[in-house]
Amino acid sequence: ADPSSDEAALVRVAARDYDKAVRVPSEFVAEQAIVTTKAFDAWAEARSKSDFSIFRPHLEKVLELVRKYITFFPPAEHPYDTLLDDYEPGMKTADVQAIFDRLRPQQVELIKAITARPQVNDKFLHKKYNEGKLWDFSAAITKEFGYDWNRGRMDKAPHPFETTFSVDDVRITNRFESDNPLATLFSAMHESGHAMYEQGINRDYERTSLSHGASLAIHESQSRLWENLVGRSLPFWEYFYPKLKKVFASQLDGIGLKNFYKAINKVEPSLIRVNADEATYNLHVMLRLELEIAMVEGKLQIKDLPEIWNTKMKEYLGVTPPNDAQGVLQDIHWSGGAIGYFSTYALGNLVSAQLWEKINRDIKDLDDQICKGRFDALLGWLHENIHQHGRKYDPQDLVQKVTGSRITPEPYVRYLKTKYSDIYGL
Ligand code: ZN
């Protein structure tokens, strides 16, 4: 078949999935299921007691299995390649390292410049906000974005996520944190970004290997685009802020649009990845990637992990976790054996900015449209260029096809510099 046809893509992707699946013996899969199930419980207990020693023997076993998993595959340039490929098909460890090596010094420099400037006031974001009203507001935003509620819904859960049952049933969850109430709005934007991707995949691919997104990074580029490039932008709030102010008149009393915009974009090096701002987020990921590679290479002993974690946090972000719960134990991923996953979060950020530059070349008055609450051209562009293709293209090829280059950090750095120069007067 024509290599660019859906039929050829289907055979290619199905063959790859099949080959990967049959290489791994079923006894191993069973053992891994048992080990990670126990490791998850141990991790949850260790985190709640902030005691790494509870998790340590389990993580050692998980790592042993991860290293065994690698041996089922043909030797790669780097053993970590095999793990990365499960989340980001075709991506090599050396590629990610090269991207991060270009990105890291620029982000560190930017954060230094920001922290030398007076901090923005965001006290009003931490007042009491009514949960139900925030919930309704976040639902209204996703509706205006174009998330199809006839084929979706939003329910409450301990952690925000998106899940797909079919192209006609793509759901999201959301939560309310009383100390960080407006996170409900941004989580809804984030998860609806994932959901609109899944809702936009070509119907012909339904129930084939081509359904679902191209990779974790491409998926995350969609959620980040709606959450950050759109949802933390000034044009977006020019439209939504008057509405928000109507609902939360007392909380936002005396706070102008520009101050609100600055507050939701406050940069502050912090301990917890999931709460990190756009300027510091990627550093959390780079730290994890380095540690994972060292673990896979056998250069890092699990018993030394908390100490190395804390040293690196100090080096990268200038903060030291007061305990392991807020340090090495904060993420769920390793307990489930998901080593190789983290870098896709940072790559997603990079892709979102790369796409954004291209979108702004193609839709010249995008900011004006967003100011007026119009998102149809934007969503249409994403459907056309990204969503409809599902898994037809490998992530790097898709990015190349759409933007003219493979994944590169420069657009993201440009985006951060422009944004924070304005906010912090750099
Ligand atoms: Zn996400």
Write the CB contacts of 79 (distance below 8 Å, at least 6 apart in sequence). Answer: 67, 70, 296, 297
- Beta-carbon count within 10 A of 355 CB: 24
239, two tokens: 């439209």
Kindly compute the dihedral angle of the four CA atoms of residues 192, 197, 199, 201, in this order, to the nearest 10 degrees: 180
* Nearest-angstrom CA–CA distance, 115 and 258: 20
3-state secondary structure of 276: coil
* Nearest-angstrom CA–CA distance, 17 and 27: 19
Residue 275, pLDDT above cutoff 90? no
191, two tokens: 């998860």
Model confidence at 424, in pLDDT bands (50, 70, 90)?
very high
- Between the CA of 100 and the centroid of ligand 1 the distance, in Å, is 20
Task: Read off the pLDDT of residues 151-175 as tens digits, 9 standing for 90 and up.
Answer: 999 999 988 999 999 999 999 999 9
Mean pLDDT of 380-398: 97
Half-sphere exposure of 190 (CA within 13 A, CB side): 20
3-state secondary structure of 119: coil
Query: Position of tokens 């078949």?
Result: 1
- Between the CA of 190 and the centroid of ligand 1 the distance, in Å, is 6
Run of H or E including 162: strand 162-166
Clarify whether 227 is annotated catalytic.
no
- Between the CA of 138 and the centroid of ligand 1 the distance, in Å, is 16
Averaged confidence pLDDT in the chain: 96
pLDDT for res 5:
96
Residue 319, pLDDT above cutoff 90? yes
- Between the CA of 217 and the centroid of ligand 1 the distance, in Å, is 9
Helix segments in 278-394, DSSP class H:
281-297, 305-317, 343-362, 366-371, 376-385
- Between the CA of 196 and the centroid of ligand 1 the distance, in Å, is 12
Task: Read off the pLDDT of residues 103-158 as tens digits, 9 standing for 90 and up.
Answer: 999 999 999 999 999 999 999 999 999 999 999 999 999 999 999 999 999 999 98
Task: Read off the pLDDT of residues 249-269 as tens digits, 9 standing for 90 and up.
Answer: 999 999 999 999 999 999 999
Report DSSP state, residue 124: G
- Between the CA of 371 and the centroid of ligand 1 the distance, in Å, is 25
- Between the CA of 187 and the centroid of ligand 1 the distance, in Å, is 9
pLDDT for res 159:
83
Task: Read off the pLDDT of residues 191-245 as tens digits, 9 standing for 90 and up.
Answer: 999 999 999 999 999 999 999 999 999 999 999 999 999 999 999 999 999 999 9
Task: Read off the pLDDT of residues 69-92 as tens digits, 9 standing for 90 and up.
Answer: 999 999 999 999 999 999 999 999
pLDDT for res 246:
97
Contact 188, 317 (CB under 8 A): no
- Between the CA of 349 and the centroid of ligand 1 the distance, in Å, is 10
pLDDT for res 285:
94
Residue 372, pLDDT above cutoff 90? yes
Residue 274, pLDDT above cutoff 90? no
Contact 107, 283 (CB under 8 A): yes
Catalytic residue among 88, 162, 191, 227: 191
Mean pLDDT of 46-63: 96
* Nearest-angstrom CA–CA distance, 56 and 270: 25
pLDDT for res 218:
98
- Between the CA of 185 and the centroid of ligand 1 the distance, in Å, is 14
- Between the CA of 296 and the centroid of ligand 1 the distance, in Å, is 25
pLDDT for res 158:
80
